[in-house]
Structure 1
Amino acid sequence: MRGFLHCYYHDIYGIRPVERELRNTIVWLSCGFDRPPSRDAVDRFLTDLEHVVDDVFDRLVEQAARRGLLDLTYCIDSTDVRALPADQDASKCYDPTAEEYYHGYGCTIVSTGQKIPIAAEFTESKQASEETAMRVTSDALAVAKPIWMVGDSAYDTLDWHDHLLDAGVVPVAPYNARNADDPKDIEYRVEDRIEQHGEDVQLKQSTLDETYNRRTGVERTNESVKDCGLGRAFARGRVHARAQVFLALCIRLVVAITNYERGDNPGSTIITV
């Protein structure tokens, strides 16, 4: 694990590049190896890691929460994970942000605070299903309950809003008039749904606008995790791709926690030595 963390932190990805880097005597000794690991050993480790990487991620999220690195606004968004052309498990996906197709997978992330990912799910494409959104949202709420949960118009669904309101969380996602036969005169879906969940509850438009503007936080989180290797899968197969995605998420948490412990900025994507 320490060897992969070293390589990913130094932008070294893929089975062969990692194996080459770990031939460096200083590197393999500092990572605790008795000898340089073989390519097969690196491959097997990545395969085995996929079985436990969820638990590692969850433990790191717990550590971040204990240190007060979470805040009261959660943001949810999906990002692309581009695969090698030879990866037969990957599929043709559409990225609506870039307005282009790509070969790969996706990842739905909930983040908070200073670029802290707290829940995630590896998906077949960037455009995640409503079921995925509900699962990731539930995972995030299990960590700690925020006041706000922010998403873009893709999260303008009744079930998502009602689930959050039932949990005592205010969802903020733009109202998508295309989802309705008789469009409502509202900016955010919650303006309509909150009437079903409480009496005499009012939300100011300015408060909703200000809260929604915080959605850029998850975009910054996605970029910071891509700095740790999220954006591209450098090994073939869904198992390895998923392991690499969660390893990148773990590295982001390790960097944030380490910087916090050193009195540095947890939002920084580098560790100053």
Structure 2
Amino acid sequence: MSTSASILQEETSIDEFFNVMATETLALFEHLEFDFLEEFDVFAPARRGRTRDHHPPALFRAFLHCYYKNVYGIRPVTRELQNTVVWLSCGFDRPPSRDAVDRFLTDLEHVVDEVFDRLVEQAACRGLLDLTYSIDSTDVRTMPADQDASKGYDPTAEEYYHGYGCTIVSTGQKIPIAAEFTESKQAPEETAMRVTCDALAVEKPIWMLGDSAYDTLGWHDHLLAAGVVPVAPYNARNTDDPKDIEYRVEARIDEHSEDVQLKQSTLDETYNRRSGVERTNDAVKDCGLGHVRARGRVHARAQVFLALCLRLVIAITNDERGDNPGSTVITL
């Protein structure tokens, strides 16, 4: 090694070295701190007086890095973290063991929805939400070896699959703001109501869009009572006297308000924006939702919310860097 190279090595810190590298991994963590994970009791040492081998923020960064690089599953993640550049850039002082990675994912499942909520709050503070929310369910496919998974059917692909489901409310540029992991793609009305309430707790929109599966009186009346206009196509199922309407909200407003009127052209134009939630589903699948490698419901749920978290982290990072928050990649 030359004298100049030796001096450079001595004077350049690890942080400066990795900043020079400017990897996508470091860009993921440039604008967000994950120290709030330390607040969750589930990550406390198992025995009194015992110290952690690895801290939650570093392990969370590690999973975000791996999902961004399309690395899924406990063993592949552990192998990826043997790379010196990776484990140092994620904040470790040594590579974590397979048991540490597995234990973190299991513990994370208990609070991963709260972690997701914290990131949603950060997205909202940055003005990434808009006044139109959309709700939809998507399938979450997993391995046939997962005995907890349900058997589903995809009519588009004309094939059966093993998996779960996820109901997502999105807004803005492919920003998920509320979600629920479900046993199958077809979620019960109770789930739709719970996810809708979670979304309204973030910020109140003007519109909430859903397909005909959300044509229920309870969902419509709850939103109208909250001052939000629900837009879902009328489904005349199980009725001998169908209404002459395109959207359920038309009938609800006629029955309960004499002062409010909505043009069908306005409803049509608004409903056309519902494709945004489908683009959000695709974006989250690019972040890992479409590559769940789990045996059991606990790890599957954790991985689903990790994918949702990664989508938020990418959106926030791109926005902070002056790039398109709707992009699923970080451009250096």
TM-score (norm: length of structure 1): 0.97
Q: Single out whichever of 178-187 and 141-150 deviates more from structure 2.
A: 178-187
Alignment of 1:1-273 (within 5 A): 1-95=60-154, 98=157, 100-273=159-332
Cα separation, 2, equivalents of 1:96 and 1:136: 25
The structure-2 alpha-carbon separation of the partners of 1:97 and 1:79, relative to structure 1 and needing over 3 Å to count, comes to farther
2:117 corresponds to which letter in structure 1?
D
Determine if contact 2:87/2:94 at 8 Å carries over to the other structure.
yes
The structure-2 alpha-carbon separation of the partners of 1:97 and 1:139, relative to structure 1 and needing over 3 Å to count, comes to farther
Cα separation, 2, equivalents of 1:197 and 1:251: 42
Cα separation, 2, equivalents of 1:146 and 1:100: 37
Determine if contact 2:236/2:242 at 8 Å carries over to the other structure.
yes
> How far did 1:181 drift?
2.4
Cα separation, 2, equivalents of 1:62 and 1:53: 14
- List runs of 5+ in structure 1 lacking aligned partners: none
Determine if contact 2:72/2:293 at 8 Å carries over to the other structure.
yes
TM-score (norm: length of structure 2): 0.80
Deviations 1:167-211 (A, max 9, x none): 111100001112422111111111101123322211111110011
Cα separation, 2, equivalents of 1:212 and 1:97: 22
Cα separation, 2, equivalents of 1:100 and 1:120: 26
Cα separation, 1, equivalents of 2:214 and 2:238: 11
> How far did 1:238 drift?
0.4
1:43 corresponds to which letter in structure 2?
D
The structure-2 alpha-carbon separation of the partners of 1:212 and 1:269, relative to structure 1 and needing over 3 Å to count, comes to same
Q: Single out whichever of 97-106 and 200-209 deviates more from structure 2.
A: 97-106
> How far did 1:12 drift?
0.7
The structure-2 alpha-carbon separation of the partners of 1:108 and 1:96, relative to structure 1 and needing over 3 Å to count, comes to farther
Cα separation, 2, equivalents of 1:140 and 1:209: 23
- List runs of 5+ in structure 2 lacking aligned partners: 1-59
Determine if contact 1:105/1:126 at 8 Å carries over to the other structure.
yes
Q: Aligned-pair RMSD on alpha carbons?
A: 1.2
Cα separation, 2, equivalents of 1:100 and 1:172: 31
Q: Single out whichever of 254-263 and 191-200 deviates more from structure 2.
A: 191-200
Determine if contact 2:72/2:291 at 8 Å carries over to the other structure.
no
